[in-house]
Amino acid sequence: MKILLLCNKSPYPAREGGPIAMNMIIEGLIRAGHSVKVLAVNSNKYNVQLSSIPEEYRKETGIELVYIDLSIQPFAAFRNLFSSRSYHVERFISRDLENALIRILQADKFDIVQFEMLYMSPYVQVVRKYSDARIVLRAHNIEHLIWQRVASSTKNPVKRLYLQHLVRKLKKYECSTVRQFDGIAAITEQDAAFFRSAECRQPEAGSRISIEAIPFGIDPDQFPETNAEPEFPSLFSIGAMNWIPNLEGICWFLEKVWPEIHRKYPGLHYYLAGRHMPGWLSKKRLPNVEVVGEVEDATAFMRSKAILIVPLFSGSGIRIKIIEGMATGKPIIATTIGAEGIHYTRDKNIFIADTPDEFIRCISACIENKATCKTIGRNARDLILAEYNRDLIISKLLGFYQKVGG
């Protein structure tokens, strides 16, 4: 098969959730013997120098990057208030990207054109015009749900009103756009259920669109078992801090949970790692909170610490850092929203906590019983190897392509 992937950001280097998920599919398809071509947005928000990408990767993927300025333009944002279009999506419309796509489609024939995330959907009609390929949306999230949850937790009434306005338009766009694709590969069963729902599907489109849940998978070879002992006890969180749900969750934990945890366990350290760590967080100098920032090797960092904390109250899709944390055998304490999309069993392979008291109880259970930590971590790793193995996921995706193309 020949597959063209249209990506909202470069899949290489795979340093945060979206690129990691895209790169998993790219490398998995190549490993399975298929031809992959990548056309990706390069932006001020996630900028990559093509020359920094290894030559072998460039050769295998034919990766091309097209720059788009994704910074918020106040006048354009204001003007969009009076438009039916979604401003979230509108920023990705680019003549340069369209021309690059046309050139690629005219030069080669593809079996599948896969759109990585909703934001690339303005180019569906370009693909229809210049290619006979079947078109698949790889839905990493329910995009409007992320912003709906962010809006609900926003205290500023003016900002909340504006976000709610954006959510309504994004949801309308998301539902109408679904009907343009031949297939939707949602990253969780919850997301797939939304795309199958009556509000997203017109009766006449019902028999055309194939929708399946195809989750994220890890390469087990990149997560070998190790006898190395982590710093115990210790807490850590890791994730890109320019993603609003991550930042909001960490702020909540530091305000609502950490003071009591520090009082109860004064020698315990909490490590914060991730890209785009805000400077003000380091300047707060909270007791025993160590702001690490971006780490060179996320897996090595996770292995060095004991208990992963994921305090998410907004967002959608699947949390890749939870999958990777489980693969390294870490006990994880996450909110219900944070653990969405993972086929977990509560208190067997993950701890679920949604209130300060629940977080404190779960953290205490881990700190006071090291054997509990190891058992939860071992069960978590077993779950990931059984259900979130990359080769298994790629096999399912290829079967989905066959169904869409049939």
What is the pLDDT, as a whole number, of residue 80? 56
What is the pLDDT, as a whole number, of residue 157? 83
**Domain 221-387 adopts which CATH fold?**
Rossmann fold (3.40.50)
Distances in whole angstroms, Cα of residue 105 to Cα of each of 57, 100, 114, 131, 305: 21, 9, 13, 6, 47
Q: What is the dihedral of CA 113, 118, 119, 121, to 10 degrees?
A: 50
Sign of the four-CA dihedral 235, 375, 370, 333: positive
DSSP 3-state percent helix, strand, coil across the chain (nearest 5): 50, 15, 35
- Which residues make Cβ contacts (< 8 Å) with residue 127, sequence separation at least 6? 101, 105, 113, 133, 135
Beta strand 307-310 pairing with 183-186: unpaired
Q: Distance between CA atoms of 200 and 172, rounded to whole angstroms?
A: 9
User: Which residues belong to CATH 3.40.50.2000 in the chain?
Assistant: 2-217+389-405, 221-387
- Mean pLDDT for all residues in the chain: 90
Q: Is the bond preceding residue 54 a cis peptide, omega within 30 degrees? A: no
Closest by Cα among 398, 378, 282 to 332: 378
Is the pLDDT at 174 greater than 70? The verdict is yes
Question: Which value, in Å, is the radius of gyration of the alpha carbons in the chain?
Answer: 21
CATH second-level architecture of 2-217+389-405? Answer: 3-Layer(aba) Sandwich (3.40)
Q: What is the dihedral of CA 181, 182, 188, 193, to 10 degrees?
A: 90
What is the pLDDT, as a whole number, of residue 209? 86
Is the pLDDT at 13 greater than 70? The verdict is yes
What is the pLDDT, as a whole number, of residue 54? 96
- More confident position, 132 or 151: 132
Q: Distance between CA atoms of 257 and 263, rounded to whole angstroms?
A: 10
Question: pLDDT of 243-289, one tens digit each?
Answer: 888 999 999 999 999 999 999 999 999 999 998 899 898 888 899 99
pTM assigned to the model: 0.87
What is the pLDDT, as a whole number, of residue 272? 97
Q: pLDDT confidence of 205, banded at 50, 70, 90?
A: very low
CB 7 within 8 A of CB 92: no
Closest by Cα among 265, 363, 251 to 308: 363
3-state secondary structure of 276: coil
